[in-house]
Structure formats: C-alpha cells, structure tokens
C-alpha cells in the first residue's frame, strides 16, 4: 500500500477513535491501531536519522501530515505520539515552522466545534470563522 493510502488510513483512525470516545464505545482496538501507525512513523524517522520526514528541513510531506498530529494534541491524544521520542521531536520541530505557526488551530475553537458537531448543532457549520 502506498504511503498516501497508509496516511489516509491513519487519519481515519483518529476520527474513528474520536467518534467512539463521543459515543463511549470501546476504543481499545482503534487505540492499538493508532499506536501501530505512529510506531511506523517513529521507525521512518529513526531509520532516516533526520528531524523531518523528507530530510534535514521541513518539506511538503511534513506539512501534509502535520494537521492530523495537531488535531491529536487538541483532542488530547498526544500520549500516543509521546511514546515515540523521534516523533515527539518531529512534532516540536514542525510546530516551529513559520508556515505551521501561521496556521495553527485555536484549541478552544476546535474543541467547541467538535462538541457542537457531535451535538448535531447547526452552529458547528461556521464555528470559529
């Protein structure tokens, strides 16, 4: 499976986990899948011996997957990434990138949007804009 499709699968895991948390369902299986996917990213960074996925400087690859890691932090799922030291360093380094800094999500806005979304409130449609 290409890296693109692997990344899409990981993204879906985050949303599936969020939906199960909201419904108070059993999240164990999805949490384990998420850990495995994050471990794969850790292995890539370890094997490459670089700070960023594309090399020694931030690249499109880093920018493409950053939003999902940013959402993990906002959704209080950062403990999964924290178990991977190189991934944790990658997150800190990407967060310092000027482009990423300029586009960081407001934590409260995202949390409130998610709450409204799961309440099926029409206010979620343009919340935070």
Domains of the chain: 3-119 (1.20.1050.10)
Q: How many CB atoms lie within 10 A of CB 61?
A: 15
User: pTM above the 0.85 mark?
Assistant: no
Tens of pLDDT along the chain (129 residues)?
Answer: 346 545 555 556 666 666 666 666 667 777 788 888 889 889 999 999 999 988 889 999 999 989 888 888 777 777 777 789 999 999 999 999 999 999 998 889 988 888 888 888 999 888 877
103 Cβ partners below 8 Å, 6+ apart?
none
Chain-centroid distance, C-alpha 5: 15
């Amino acid at each position: 499976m290409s890296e693109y499709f692997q990344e899409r699968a990981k993204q879906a895991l985050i949303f599936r986990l969020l939906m199960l948390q909201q419904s108070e369902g059993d999240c164990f299986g999805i949490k384990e899948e998420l850990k495995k996917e994050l471990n794969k990213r850790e292995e890539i960074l370890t094997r490459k011996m670089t700070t960023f996925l594309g090399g020694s400087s931030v690249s499109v690859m880093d920018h493409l997957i950053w939003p999902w890691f940013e959402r993990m932090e906002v959704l209080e799922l950062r403990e999964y990434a924290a178990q991977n030291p190189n991934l944790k360093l990658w997150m800190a380094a990407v967060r310092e990138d000027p482009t990423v800094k300029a586009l960081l999500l407001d934590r409260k806005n995202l949390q409130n949007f998610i709450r409204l979304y799961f309440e099926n409130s029409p206010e979620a449609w343009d919340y935070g804009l």
